[in-house]
Amino acid sequence: MDKFFGSKVAYPPLPAGNEALLKLDAVKAPLEELAHKVHDHLEVVPAEHEAFVFLGKPPMNFGMAWIHDGKVTSLNDLAKEHHLSQVEIGELMGRLGEAYQHASETPRYSAEFGGKQMVVIPSMGLEREMHQIMANTLH
């Protein structure tokens, strides 16, 4: 019920040597840059050489950032770069929210990057689903 009433859930720290931590170390600089810029709650899905970051309160009220190629790409950047309409952006956000819900039973951990505590969701299934959604939207 905490999720619905806004209480912050304390997650255990991401264990040292965890594969998710190794993936996040690969995108550490842009992740720390994002942590400094964004004052909202961050939930990170680590992936191979990239990360997907939910900003705010997924699955309903959230934004998205994608860390890839050594940089942070916001949803606005993606929309401009790929000429996405408002309808396409809405559909993308709907699919991303559904993907987040599919991983609702996945264990979550906490980690600090750029002086900011964030939630880490180490899920191969969610990682694949997010990657597929982005690939389908952008190609």
Query: pLDDT at residue 129 above 90?
Result: yes
Task: Examine residue 113 and state whether it is found in any structural domain, yes or no.
Answer: yes
Task: Examine residue 36 and state whether it is found in any structural domain, yes or no.
Answer: yes
For residue 43, give the 3-state DSSP assignment. strand
Contact 35, 114 (CB under 8 A): yes
Task: Examine residue 103 and state whether it is found in any structural domain, yes or no.
Answer: yes
- What global pTM score does this model have? 0.89
Angular region, 114: left φ>0, alpha ψ -120 to 50, beta rest: left
For residue 58, give the 3-state DSSP assignment. coil
Residue carrying the six token digits 């770069």 = 81
Task: Examine residue 6 and state whether it is found in any structural domain, yes or no.
Answer: no
Task: State the residue range of the domain holding 120.
Answer: 11-138
Task: Examine residue 37 and state whether it is found in any structural domain, yes or no.
Answer: yes
Task: Examine residue 133 and state whether it is found in any structural domain, yes or no.
Answer: yes
Tens of pLDDT along 74-104? 988 989 999 999 999 999 999 999 999 999 9
Tens of pLDDT along 27-48? 999 999 999 999 899 999 999 9
Total domains in the chain come to: 1
